[in-house]
Amino acid sequence: MNNPNVGVRAPQAALWGFYPINPSSLIKAIENCFKNPRFGPGRLPSKSSRINEGPVVAGVAPHAGYEFSGPCAAWLYLELAERVPKIDTFVILGSNHTGFGSTFTTTKRFEKWATPLGEVRVDTVFLEELEKEYPALVDDVAAHMREHSIEVQLPFLQYLYENEFELVPIVVKHVEYEEAKEFARAILSVVQKLGRTTVVIASSDFTHHGAYYGYVIFRENVVENVKRLDLEFVKVIEALDTKKFLNMIRRYDSTICGYGAIAVAMEYAKLVNARAKLLKYYNSGEVTGEEDMVVGYASIAFEKR
C-alpha cells in the first residue's frame, strides 16, 4: 500500500524561470553554461581528465537563474565530473529563503525530487541516520515547498551522473560556529557509518546589493566594490577560518544568503582534511552591466589533500 505522506516534489524552480522546463532546452542551457567562454569553463566536462588529483568532497555553488549564475556553477560541476566518477549521495545544504523550519531543516515528505531530466531519489537511510546523529534536525516540508536553492543544483548533477545518485535535502538558516561544527560532524559520522561516496554542496549566492535587497553600502563603482567585498569572504573561506567567516557576516550585516550552509561545508572540509580552492567568481553586474541590483556568485571546491 502506498504511503500517502510521501511523494514526488515537482520542479518548482523551473516554473519560476530559474531554468528551462523543456528537457532538450534544459540540456542545451546546461551545456551552454559549461561552454561559456567568459564566465564558464569554456568546455564540456571530460571524465578522462585529471584523474590523479584528489577528489572533491564538498563545494559551494550559486543558485540564481542559469543565465546569470549557471556558468559559475559549471566550474564546480566540471571538477566533480572529472574527479569523482561515481557519487552515491549528495548532501545539498540550501539557503532558507522562506523562513520556515529551524536552523537545519529537511523533509521526508518526498521520496523523490523531480526536474525535467527525471527523478532523483532521496537517501532516506542517510537522512534517518542523520536525524539520530543530530536530533535538532527538523522535518518541515514547508521549508522546501517554495525553496529553489536545492532544486537548481539537481539538473547539473543529473546531466553529469544521470539519476544514479541520491539526495539528502537540507536548508540552513543562521548558524553559530558550534552549530556548524556539530552538524558537520554529524554528516561525517553518517558518511563513515554507511560507507557512501558523498559530496556536500552548499548552495549559496554571495552579496546581494541594491535597494531591492535593502542593502546599499556602495554608491559608486558598485560592481567592483561588491567583487572586492565578496573576495574578502572568499579569502577567509579558502583559509577554512569558519569563526572569522561568521564574524565577518555579522560585521558587514552580510546578505550572503547561504552563509550557514557555507559554514557547515567549511567545517566538513576540515574534518576530512580538505582544502578550499576558488574556481570562479563574478557578479551579476558583470553579466548585465547594471549596478542597481548586483548579486555575487562564487564556485568553490573543497578537495582532499
Residue 3 has pLDDT above 60, yes or no: no
pLDDT of residue 271: 98
When pLDDT is averaged across residues 231-244 and rounded to a whole number, the result is 98
Contact 259, 180 (CB under 8 A): no
Q: pLDDT tens, 293-305?
A: 999 999 999 999 8
Residue 1, pLDDT score: 34
pLDDT at 5 over 60: no
- CA gap 254, 56 in Å, rounded: 27
Q: How confident is the model at residue 49 (pLDDT cuts 50, 70, 90)?
A: low
d(CA 161, CA 137) in angstroms, rounded, equals 28
The pair phi, psi for residue 252, each rounded to 5°, is: -90, 0
- At residue 171's C-alpha, the angle toward residues 120 and 257, to 5°, is 120
Q: How many C-beta atoms lie closer than 10 Å to residue 137's C-beta?
A: 19
Rounded to an integer, the average pLDDT of 277-285 is 98
What does the pLDDT read at residue 65?
A: 97
pLDDT at 183: 98
Q: What is the pLDDT of residue 281?
A: 98
pTM of the model: 0.95
- Topology (CATH) of 7-44+54-304: Protocatechuate 4,5-dioxygenase; Chain B (3.40.830)
pLDDT, tens digit (0-9, with 9 covering 90-100), for 110-129? 999 999 999 999 999 999 99
SS3 content of the chain, % helix, strand, coil (to 5): 40, 25, 35
Average pLDDT over residues 283-288: 98
pLDDT digits (tens, 9 = 90+) for 63-86: 999 999 999 999 999 999 999 999
- Mean predicted confidence (pLDDT) in 25-48: 95
Residues 218, 216: Cα–Cα separation, whole Å:
6
- List all residues 6 or more positions away from 229 whose beta carbon is below 8 Å from its beta carbon: 207, 252
pLDDT reported for residue 54: 72
Question: pLDDT tens, 181-203?
Answer: 999 999 999 999 999 999 999 99
Which among 64, 59, 91, 62 has a CA at the least distance from the CA of 277?
Answer: 59
Tell me, what's the pLDDT at 53? 63
Q: Across all residues in the chain, what is the average pLDDT? A: 95
Domain parsing of the chain, residue ranges? 7-44+54-304
* CB-side neighbour CA atoms (13 Å) of 81: 21
CB atoms within 10 A of CB 113: 22
The residues near 259 (Cβ < 8 Å, ≥ 6 apart) are: 174, 175, 204, 245, 246, 249
- Chain center to CA of 216: 25
